């Protein structure tokens, strides 16, 4: 009898590293995980949800928690309950700040708030944004609440400078996912 697949909710935010989330979906599926993608409204401006639907072979859940559902369910609650892990990659300073302050104004933040499972966050942003005292305070607050982080790496940033803020290597993200599942 085949073991049921572990389910990952992948939160995708509007970092320029979003293109790496496409490859991350493929790698997670290769490891045997079922991946459900939840995109923020801003992320949809960078990558069409159909890309993630094709890669995950699942419906992509979009930002608006008030969209009429195809079938009756409270999406943020059902996503939170069925997930074995919630992974946010790439995670912007904005999503980290919203989570740290309890703002639940879209499907992703509501799903995280409704979850009792491990939350794994992989930040990706400009070095100045990452090292900002407020961002670091928000990360520390989330860590104190049990959220796990995969630190960004140093590399070429979208602004053209080299610095700390690049999304962690996909191999490292997959390794961390396996550790928690």
Q: Which of 80, 18, 22, 13 is nearest to 40 (CA)?
A: 13
Using the structure block, give the residue that is written with the tokens 């690049």: 166
- DSSP code of 48? -
Q: Of these residues, 22, 31, 159, 166, which one is catalytic?
A: 159
- 72-94: string of b/e by CB count within 10 Å (b at 16+)? eeebbeebbeebbbbbbbbbbbb
Residue 31 catalytic? no
The catalytic residue positions are 159
């Amino acid at each position: 009898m085949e073991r049921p697949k572990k389910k990952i909710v992948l939160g995708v935010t509007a970092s320029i590293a979003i293109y790496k989330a496409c490859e991350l979906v493929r790698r997670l599926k290769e490891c045997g995980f079922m991946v459900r993608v939840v995109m923020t409204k801003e992320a949809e401006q960078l990558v069409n949800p159909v890309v993630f639907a094709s890669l995950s072979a699942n419906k992509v859940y979009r930002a608006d928690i008030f969209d009429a559902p195809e079938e009756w369910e409270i999406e943020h609650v059902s996503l939170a309950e069925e997930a074995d892990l919630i992974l946010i990659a790439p995670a912007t300073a904005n999503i980290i700040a919203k989570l740290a302050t309890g703002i639940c104004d879209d499907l992703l933040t509501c799903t995280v708030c409704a979850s009792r499972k491990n939350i794994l966050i992989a930040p990706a942003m400009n070095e100045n944004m990452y090292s900002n005292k407020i961002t670091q305070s928000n990360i520390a607050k989330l860590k104190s609440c049990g959220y796990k982080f995969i630190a960004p790496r140093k590399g070429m940033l979208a602004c053209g400078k080299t610095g700390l803020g690049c999304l962690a290597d996909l191999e490292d993200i997959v390794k961390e996912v396996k550790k928690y599942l």
